[in-house]
Amino acid sequence: MGNKTLTIFDSGFKKTIFANEYKFYIHESFIEDVNFETIKDIILFKEKEIIEKYPNSRTDGNTGLGHNSLTSKFENFNLFSWNEPEIQKLKKGVIDQLHFFLNKLMMDVPEGLKVQCWANVMRNGEEILPHVHDTSNNTFIGGNICITTNETKTHYINPMAYFAGDEQQIYSSDNKQGKVTFFSQSIPHYTDKVKEELRISVAFDFTHTGHSRYEHKNLIYLDNKRGE
């Protein structure tokens, strides 16, 4: 589980009472010992069934992928609930890396943490537009896992410099199979446009007690132990 990277958008020392003070975190690592081709096949097999089962999406999460995309069904299913062995291995890999990330920040994984997990399937000409996962006072951690990458990048924008013109801060991450990225849910992020082949990713949000989303029917408890 090497190749771990921590990127921080940091305001630095606050010099006036009017200055913003912030830290936004992006942690990247890799999940190993998972057959990502099998994960891809499972997602593509279930994609049409999920889209047809839930035709009236409330939102596509401001991704620009449209209300007929698998992404737009993110509230209607939870990929981590699927029983296929490779899916459960993927979930365990996420748990391991979450522990590592939070331990690096000298934090424990909160008790009672829940997770929502979905998949994004992008085809020729499609892209995910800048969007955020949460901006509430209960914002926590979101993430994604690269399943198939198609030589694309995911770009993360410093929220406090979004409208800063030439001073806008963007961290661009190469999409590589097996890469898992954790990020502050309030960080706007987007992808390159897909050319020719598929780009598939798995995305997730962690939610803790007290959040307005906490009782949503498709959130599941995250096993608070590291994967075996």
Residue numbers of the domain that contains 157? 62-221
pLDDT tens-digit profile, the chain (228 residues):
458 999 999 999 999 999 999 999 999 999 999 999 999 999 999 999 999 999 989 999 999 999 999 999 999 999 999 999 999 999 999 999 999 999 999 999 999 999 999 999 999 999 999 999 999 999 999 999 999 988 899 999 999 999 888 889 999 999 999 999 999 999 999 999 998 789 999 999 999 999 999 999 999 998 744 443
Answer yes or no: is 205 within a domain: yes
Handedness of CA 215, 219, 220, 225 (dihedral sign): negative
Does the residue 227 lie in any domain?
A: no
Is-contact 124 194, C-beta < 8 A? yes
CA distances from 206 to 118, 144, 149, 217 (A): 12, 11, 23, 14
Q: Is residue 36 part of a domain?
A: no
Q: Judge whether 40 lies within some domain.
A: no
CATH number at residue 116: 2.60.120.620
Q: Does residue 116 lie within any of the structural domains?
A: yes
Number of folded domains that form the chain: 1
What DSSP element (H or E) covers 43?
Answer: helix 36-53
CA distance 157 to 160: 9
Q: Does 33 reside within a domain? A: no
